[in-house]
Structure 1
Amino acid sequence: MQFNSVVISQLLLTLASVSMGASTAFKEHHQHQRATLEKRATTCKFPTDKNLVAVTPNSKNGGWALSPDQECTAGSYCPYACPPGQLMAQWDPSATSYSYPESERGGIYCNENGEIEVPFSSKDWCYSGKGTLQASNKAGSNVAFCQTVLPGNEAMLIPTNVDGGSTEDLAIPGTEYWASTAAHYYINPPGVSTEDGCVWGSTANPYGNWSPYVAGGNVDDSGNSFVKIGWNPIYLEDATPFKNTKPDFGVKITCSEGQCNGLPCEIDPSKNGVNEVSSSQSSNGAGGANSCVVTGSKGAKVTIEVFSTGGVSKREEVPIQSLLSNKDSSSNHTNSTPVVDPINSGVSLSAASPVVVMTLVALTTFLFC
């Protein structure tokens, strides 16, 4: 069989073109693979030998205390969760005040090579809090306390599960903690797991970021503990579909092994309406949310107790005035005992003065935002 020379030339050119195309595709494929590998190499893997608590380990964050779709990438700080009662001991040493973006630089540093750098190499990754705060569950089903990540994205990702009838330590910092800030918790309804409660969530359910109650606390240099419970401002927002629904559980602060000022400090939906607090030292804060503060003297053990109200959730119409002031008659009681705000323990406040109450509101805006 004879072939026309022109046909043969065209065939050879076609084969050469296909070969070059295949070679180019092969090269591009391997370049893409190498780029992908290089990209993967610029993330830092969550360590399994540091006694940390992995946060949504099967998501992109891979265990770091980041949003589930956020990786620990090169050139960034990556916070992490410590066991109950313990605090993160690492953050950007140059970030010394509560301001953005410094407030997000918590945890270890992931360098450009995807290697972990520990900012304070002489310190462990976690350390025990002051040990003066605990959570007690008298509601029956488990209760998820979810601590916000600070320094970090301030989402409620750090879990502490309290089984029914049990007590767990809650991490409470002293002034040595980052920027002398307090610990902040969201208290989920009984029966909600830490997997469901310690994530952002949505208005579809009254848990996660939409939990009805929040709490916080810290310890000053004299050993006094300042613990606060209150309504979650987001629970009270107009866009929240269950804003007029009474939770079927309550919270209160109790004290043992020492003296406490500010008792009673309680939210009991069987006696209180939505956004009402039973306290002689209640205050009105961010979003119109009411709260109360208890000061435990040095050596005192302060407990946040969760209890069932023995009924189902009830809806009620809440007058707008109740979002602006506490309707409990005990809130008019004057008390000259100094109250120190959990956020700024260097400021002494008297609950008897309206000006002081306004100051307390201003100082506690961060805690319940």
Structure 2
Amino acid sequence: MKLSATVAIAAAGTLAAAQGHHHAHHHAHKRDTVATSTVDEVVTVYQLDGTPVPYADVCQGIKNGDYKWAEGAAPSGACATTTSTSISVKAAEFIQTTVSISSSTSSTVITTSAVPTTSTTSTTPTTSSTSTTPTTSSTPAATTTASSSSSGTTGVDAAFPDGELSCDTFPSDYGAVALDYHNIGGWSGIQYPTYNSLETLVETIVTAVTGESCTEGAFCSYQCPEGYLKSQWPSTQGATGQSVGGIKCSGGKLVRTNTDYETLCIPGVQALSVKNTLSETVCICRTDYPGTESETLPSCVNPGQTIALANPDGDTYYQWEGKSTSAQYYINPPGYLEAAACTWGSSDKPLGNFAPMNLGLGYKGGLTYASIFPNTPTTDAVLGFNVRYDGASSECAWDANAKAYTGGGNGCTVSIAKGSSATLVLY
């Protein structure tokens, strides 16, 4: 299989890399723009089909003949002892690019109609050191609990009964986890696309706001249990890279949009867990992709708790224009529950899309790649606790006291072999 690689630097629309700010997917509708009147830093990152790859792995792969440089020769200063133009065609092609980033000017966020406007009633952090399972104070829209399918089987592994549940019924009996704090009927996002004349591409997307519900023609996205990913998205996607995800309300009933899967949730590749040794809950929020592409999917880990993070298989999960995708997470400060942390935020608080740190996670070709890096240029907020990977291929950590990364100056990336596991420790 021939793979490709790109470098993601300070731009939305590419997959998690150790440096720069970007979403955990290839085609974001939200862009961060940075003025470059003063060049302060030049950042280079390697990614394999959008998944970050440690520099040492790149060079070793070149040396072993597993990879080749896309232009036929190593870029200046990269793996200086290796040049190769005759490696087999199944080898991966690595492309190296750089971009100038200015830290002397502020960034702005430009959004389209596909970015949801979400309001919650819980914005004050908790202070208790004995947090229990996260709860929220938002008042949800009225929902109906899903009834059993005609087969009588329910649960995360149960086949979803196409056309049986009304659109005002949240399908919790089939693995979907209601996120009532969004106040859109338990869904993580609701999208109304419009199409081109041939209905082969989505041209625009209107996203539901607080108080709305899954109604006729809508694509309704949802959270899955820890370690699981949603399986539903339509084949017709955005003309300019916008994504659509979820099941559809059609004829007043909920129907699947991806018939490759009978279930609403599928297990991710088991590779990475998060362990919280702090005294307060920490919410790590995942981008809903394909879907609204906002960080609305919570993975909140309580003190002393360990949970699995959902890790998409880049070889089989959602692809668009031949590019695979992986997951992007936002690591929030402690003490904030999902109603505050896992919603579209603003720059006055280091939460949500303004959280201090990003985590990229994805599996490709036998390896899981995981990275941590600052959420720049969106915010200059600094994470106030320590983070490290245990059990991974190399050392990678964030020291809050030193305000520095081990394993990379502006972030770091590790790999985890198939069948192995690693832990992200919060301490």
Counterparts of 1:161 and 1:306, CA distance in 2? 12
The structural deviation recorded for 1:138 is 1.6
1:249 matched residue in structure 2? 385
Q: State the Cα deviation string for residues 166-213 of structure 1 (Å, max 9, x = none).
A: 210000011211112101111111111122211112223211221101
The structural deviation recorded for 1:51 is 2.4
- Gaps of at least 5 residues in structure 1 are 1-41, 237-242, 283-289, 308-369
1:320 matched residue in structure 2? none
Structure 1 residue 63 corresponds to structure 2 residue 186: yes
Structure 1 residue 190 corresponds to structure 2 residue 334: yes
1:125 matched residue in structure 2? 264
Q: 1:47 aligns with which of 165, 168, 171?
A: 171
Residue type at the aligned position of 1:64: W
Instruction: Determine if contact 2:228/2:267 at 8 Å carries over to the other structure.
Output: yes
Structure 1 residue 232 corresponds to structure 2 residue 375: yes
Counterparts of 2:329 and 2:374, CA distance in 1? 12
Counterparts of 1:182 and 1:58, CA distance in 2? 24
1:11 matched residue in structure 2? none
What is the RMSD of the two structures over their aligned residues, measured on CA atoms? 2.2
TM-score normalised according to structure 1 size: 0.59
Instruction: Determine if contact 2:274/2:301 at 8 Å carries over to the other structure.
Output: yes
The structural deviation recorded for 1:296 is 1.4
* SS of match in other structure, 1:120: coil
Counterparts of 1:75 and 1:271, CA distance in 2? 51
The structural deviation recorded for 1:104 is 2.5
The structural deviation recorded for 1:94 is 3.8
Counterparts of 1:133 and 1:74, CA distance in 2? 38
Structure possessing the higher radius of gyration over alpha carbons: 1
Given the superposition, is the C-alpha separation of residues 142 and 52 from structure 1 closer, same or farther in structure 2, using an over 3 Å criterion?
same
Counterparts of 1:101 and 1:44, CA distance in 2? 31
Structure 1 residue 210 corresponds to structure 2 residue 354: yes
Residue type at the aligned position of 1:202: S
TM-score normalised according to structure 2 size: 0.52
* SS of match in other structure, 1:168: strand
Correspondence list, 1:286-305, <5 A: 290-305=410-425
Which has the bigger relative contact order, CA under 8 A and spacing at least 6? 2
Instruction: Determine if contact 1:132/1:301 at 8 Å carries over to the other structure.
Output: yes
Given the superposition, is the C-alpha separation of residues 100 and 199 from structure 1 closer, same or farther in structure 2, using an over 3 Å criterion?
farther
The structural deviation recorded for 1:295 is 1.0
Aligned residues: 237
Q: State the Cα deviation string for residues 292-349 of structure 1 (Å, max 9, x = none).
A: 1101122221222212xxxxxxxxxxxxxxxxxxxxxxxxxxxxxxxxxxxxxxxxxx
List, as ranges, runs of 4+ consecutive aligned residues in structure 1 with deviation greater than 3 Å: 42-45, 99-103
Structure 1 residue 93 corresponds to structure 2 residue 235: yes
Given the superposition, is the C-alpha separation of residues 232 and 173 from structure 1 closer, same or farther in structure 2, using an over 3 Å criterion?
same
Instruction: Determine if contact 2:182/2:188 at 8 Å carries over to the other structure.
Output: no
Judging by fraction of residues, say which structure has more helix: 1
1:326 matched residue in structure 2? none
Counterparts of 1:102 and 1:77, CA distance in 2? 17
Instruction: Determine if contact 2:362/2:369 at 8 Å carries over to the other structure.
Output: yes
Counterparts of 2:306 and 2:229, CA distance in 1? 18
1:109 matched residue in structure 2? 248
Given the superposition, is the C-alpha separation of residues 251 and 211 from structure 1 closer, same or farther in structure 2, using an over 3 Å criterion?
same
The structural deviation recorded for 1:127 is 1.1
Residue type at the aligned position of 2:223: A
Q: State the Cα deviation string for residues 59-108 of structure 1 (Å, max 9, x = none).
A: 2x21111165253332232211101110001111344xxx5566431111
Instruction: Determine if contact 1:103/1:150 at 8 Å carries over to the other structure.
Output: no
Residue type at the aligned position of 1:229: I
